[in-house]
Amino acid sequence: MRWCKSTKVIFVVLFSTAIFTVTIHKVPYGHFKDLVNNSMVERFLHGEPCACMERCLAASDDMWFAEHFKKDVPPVLSLNNSAFPDHIFKWWQSLQSRSKANYSQVITELFSVIPGEEWYRDDGPSRCRTCAVVGNSGNLLGSYYGPIIDNHDFVFRMNKAPVEGYEKDVGSRTTHRIMYPESATHLDNNTHLVLLPFKTLDIQWVTSALTDGSIKRTRFKVIDKLQANKDKVMVMHPAFMHYVHNTWLHIKSRRSYPSTGFLVLIFALHICDEVSVFGFGSNSKGTWHHYFEKTPKSFKRTGKHSGGIEHETILELQERKLIDLYTGW
């Protein structure tokens, strides 16, 4: 069995967990309940940002993190925040072929189908939301991370990455599936769909795919009628994508944009209190491939994504103890 987050700290984490468990079982339930209640009161009185015992991202005093993390940027579109500045709109439009669609009308149609609320703006001293961001790297194979991943409150997966047959390494739970039309897959009734809108047509597609199925092609043929719970669908805000592009990656080129994996990671930093990252990077042999490929094809080139900068930023987050990065096999 191989559970490798960091060879320097994994044993400390495991032993700390064991000690904590033993200690709790020695405390009478009534007394322990009082301790919990008193601790909660203390958090409210002293303005603690969350209820997590290990870390609260919102409480970080790391100056590097403060320079990058902009709490006021909305992660998802809502009825009240769908308008955004012209320079951001122009950047977003530059990612796609010019659209003749009326954006305001597209948004109106979208929120006639899915909820128009602002999701996950509920941080505070009573919340401890733990999140697992699960990438698709082949370093998950043989990792036995499944139980660790499933133990998180939210489990984010990307595109069509399968779970069945890989449970011991990638877990069995999925609370959020992040995808775009060309990478879409059907979902069960309990999974949230988070759409990455790289173009106006993507927003039009999700509206269509949840209703009449009139859009059958975007860049190429896509699922026209999507199985998903309409009440659990949200759309990542184009302004949030711009913020990740500019503030986290400092990308100057308009032709480049963040990868799905990196967008999801920063998304998690904004809506979670503790973030663990799995399935990013190469395996122990330095090979880059997907865990679900029958015949692994090594990849390293990242196309329009700044893979090198993203990788360095993820390592920086780990070095500063802002995330837990599980490096796999």
Instruction: Report which secondary-structure segment, H or E, holds 193.
Output: strand 192-195
Q: Which of 163, 161, 160 is nearest to 181 (CA)?
A: 160
CA angle 232, 236, 242 (to 5 degrees): 175
**pLDDT tens column, 156-203:** 999 999 999 999 999 999 999 999 999 999 999 999 999 999 999 999
Q: pLDDT band for 39, please (50, 70, 90 cuts).
A: very low
Residue 2 lies in a domain: no
Q: pLDDT band for 36, please (50, 70, 90 cuts).
A: very low
Residue 256 lies in a domain: yes
Q: Which of 54, 59, 62, 61 is nearest to 125 (CA)?
A: 59
Instruction: Report which secondary-structure segment, H or E, holds 262.
Output: helix 260-271
- Considering only residues 243 and 14, tell me which one the structure prediction assigns the higher pLDDT: 243
CA distance 227 to 189: 8
The owner of tokens 């491939």 is 289
Residue 260 lies in a domain: yes
The owner of tokens 């499944």 is 146
Give the range among 33-42, 83-92, 167-176, 288-297 with minimum mean pLDDT.
33-42
CA angle 131, 137, 142 (to 5 degrees): 90
- Considering only residues 295 and 314, tell me which one the structure prediction assigns the higher pLDDT: 314
**pLDDT tens column, 304-325:** 445 689 999 999 999 999 999 9
**pLDDT tens column, 234-269:** 999 999 999 999 999 987 656 678 999 999 999 999
Residue 36 lies in a domain: no
pTM over 0.85: no
Beta carbons within 8 Å of 140's beta carbon, 6+ residues apart? 134, 166, 169, 170, 278, 279, 291, 328, 329
C-beta separation of 126 from 36 below 8 A: no
Instruction: Report which secondary-structure segment, H or E, holds 275.
Output: strand 274-278
Give the neighbor-by-neighbor strand order of the sheet with 324-326: 233-235, 192-195, 176-179, 154-158, 130-134, 274-278, 324-326
Other beta carbons less than 10 A from residue 300's beta carbon:
11
Strand partners, 290: 137
CA distance 50 to 122: 10
The number of residues making up the chain comes to 329
Does residue 227 surpass a pLDDT of 90? yes
**pLDDT tens column, 48-82:** 789 998 889 988 999 999 999 999 999 999 999 99
Residue 1 lies in a domain: no
Total tally of structural domains belonging to the chain: 1
Give the range among 87-96, 227-236, 277-286 with minimum mean pLDDT.
277-286
Residue 284 lies in a domain: yes
| Distance, CA of 100 to chain centre | 31
Q: Could you give the 3-state DSSP secondary structure of residue 136?
A: coil
pLDDT for residue 149: 98
Strand partners, 246: none
Active site residues: 257, 305
CA distance 87 to 103: 15
Other beta carbons less than 10 A from residue 295's beta carbon:
5
The owner of tokens 């503790």 is 274
pLDDT for residue 296: 62
Does residue 298 surpass a pLDDT of 60? no
- Residue 275, domain extent: 48-326
CA distance 112 to 122: 24
Residue 19 lies in a domain: no
CATH number at residue 56: 3.90.1480.20
- Considering only residues 308 and 25, tell me which one the structure prediction assigns the higher pLDDT: 308
DSSP 117-143: SPPS---STT---EEEEE--BGGGTT-
Token representation of residue 61: 């005093």
Beta carbons within 8 Å of 166's beta carbon, 6+ residues apart? 140, 141, 291, 292
Instruction: Report which secondary-structure segment, H or E, holds 324.
Output: strand 324-326
pLDDT for residue 308: 83
Q: Which of 205, 220, 134 is nearest to 169 (CA)?
A: 134
CA distance 206 to 260: 17
Residue 177 lies in a domain: yes
C-beta separation of 50 from 123 below 8 A: yes
